[in-house]
Amino acid sequence: MLRQLAKASLPLSSTAGFHRSSAVPKSLEHEFYLTLSQDISKELKHRGMLDTKTRRIVITGVGTISPLGTDTKEVFDKAMQGETGVRPVVVEDDDDDDDNNIAYQKYGIHYCSDVPFHWKQDCDSLCGGLERAKSPAVRFAEYATLKSLLQADWNPTGDYDKFRTGVCIGNSMVDLDYIAKSHSLVTSGKGKKVSPYFVPRILCNMASGFVAIRHGFRGPNHTASTACSTGAHSIGDAFFFIKSGQADVMVAGGTDTCINALSLVGFNRLRALSTKFVDDPRRASRPFDKDRDGFVMAEGAAVLVLEELQHALKRGANIYCEVIGYGASCDADHITAAKPDGAGALLAVMRAFSNANVMEDIDDELWLVNAHATSTPLGDVAEMNAVRGCLGLIESHQDFWNVRIPHNGPYVTAHKSNLGHMIGAAGAIESSLAAISLQTGQIPGILNLDEPEEGIGKGVQLVRESIYESEKKRDTRRLVLKNSFGFGGTNVSLLFAEYIPGSKLSAK
């Protein structure tokens, strides 16, 4: 099925290059503008009938390519079982293997969490065409999109459906290896060997562009590039595109391929990477643990299909959960370090709660915090300060926030313990796993949390062993708070809710 969708969705223009004839027969030109005019008129009429305050957005598809697998449910199950993608760093698919490995050894880069080579090969076989114009991150994004669209059963053929489907896939870091090699050609007098596709290949918005071109999606086309919060920002922006009536379906997520010598050495020079678990790399990523010493670099992509609820119900789509809130802020304090008191992050969290919908027939409960938790000494503390600040505000103003807090506090989990830090894709894949948690009632435990730092788990329940709650009877709607933070002090929080069929929005 995946290969059929890949073949069916590949337009001629994506394999024929960028040069095309400008001569269009007058009859076709007239037909095109007539159809376009009709589509625009239909959309304006549709949008004029919308009440944007009551539009609800759900997740109907999740797709990924990651260190733990290329099926999101498989990744989730492996996380439930305590598996990890972290392993000794080895370059398997590059012509400069020896040079990169020498650099890794010389500069103390010993482990990472990369996508296994055979999965990369499968990705390349499905997402071929214009290889010289596509960075590895773009190919990852195309692959994850195919997976998510197949899951969502969304492969529109009509013009209007494509008109109402948009793309918002973020990319944090460009292809540094490719830039370095191209620069070397220029400085060595071989500039004519620089690819004519050099410029489009290094642009961060090309993942969104290629996905839209491949599938013919003509809705909003947007890219967030906000360091480690890229994937979450992309989902939040897509949420607003649907909420405002500009689209009915958005393909949203993030992609990054940062495992190369220049990137890893750069992050190591920042002292951001874990370095002290050379003898057992599987223990290196350990959010909230007292022995954490930095994050483990990872790569991959995750793409979700967001959809307006009535649109999804009308076509009988499988619904994972609702997206009900989105908040963003900035620390305005430091270019790489989190503000220790978590004040900037708290602002994003409360903004997510402030625009969340409330149901008339069931109360909400903050069930789980899906933490950013990179396993850095300062970042994990700052995030938990923000979470405790959020809990305090909600509990002291219950009549305003309308959210219950469990007696022992919400659960807290952190998927980077299994996956490493996928940078621009981190918020997206962690949101995908949060969606599955809401659908199943299961929560993967935090790997390597042998001894939490003193005080870091105060007021919450750090999930050290995977939790199975699918059969538990409740009188509340579960909520999941998903946080992502990035260099430059950028913060983003997403609020997901369990989808309860037949539930209605409150008039509040």
Lookup: tokens for 330? 């900035």
Q: Is residue 204 annotated as a catalytic residue, yes or no?
A: no
Q: Is residue 215 annotated as a catalytic residue, yes or no?
A: no
SS (H, E, C) 118-171: HHHHHHHHHCCCCHHHCCHHHHHHHHHHHHHHHHHCCCCCCHHHHHCEEEEEEE
The catalytically annotated residue of 228, 258, 321, 390 is 228
The catalytically annotated residue of 215, 222, 415, 421 is 421
Q: Which residue has tokens 């793409």?
A: 303
User: What CA–CA distances, in Å, run from 153 to 144, 146, 485?
Assistant: 14, 10, 32
DSSP symbol at 4: H
Closest by Cα among 380, 400, 498, 392 to 449 = 380
Tell me the C-alpha distance between 459 and 466, whole Å.
19
In DSSP notation, 12-72 reads: GGGTS-S-------HHHHHHHHHHHHHHHHHHHHHHHT--TTT--EEEEEEEEEBTTBSSH
The catalytically annotated residue of 215, 222, 233, 372 is 372
Tell me the C-alpha distance between 140 and 300, whole Å.
6
Closest by Cα among 444, 448, 442 to 465 = 444
Rounded to a whole number of angstroms, the distance between the first and last alpha carbons of the chain is: 44
User: What CA–CA distances, in Å, run from 131 to 176, 202, 210?
Assistant: 17, 13, 12
Q: Is residue 233 annotated as a catalytic residue, yes or no?
A: no
Cβ contact 413:370 at 8 Å:
yes
Tell me the C-alpha distance between 262 and 96, whole Å.
13
Tell me the C-alpha distance between 109 and 178, whole Å.
20
Bridge partner list, 326:
494
Tell me the C-alpha distance between 177 and 183, whole Å.
10
Cβ contact 359:504 at 8 Å:
yes
Query: What residues act catalytically?
Result: 228, 372, 421
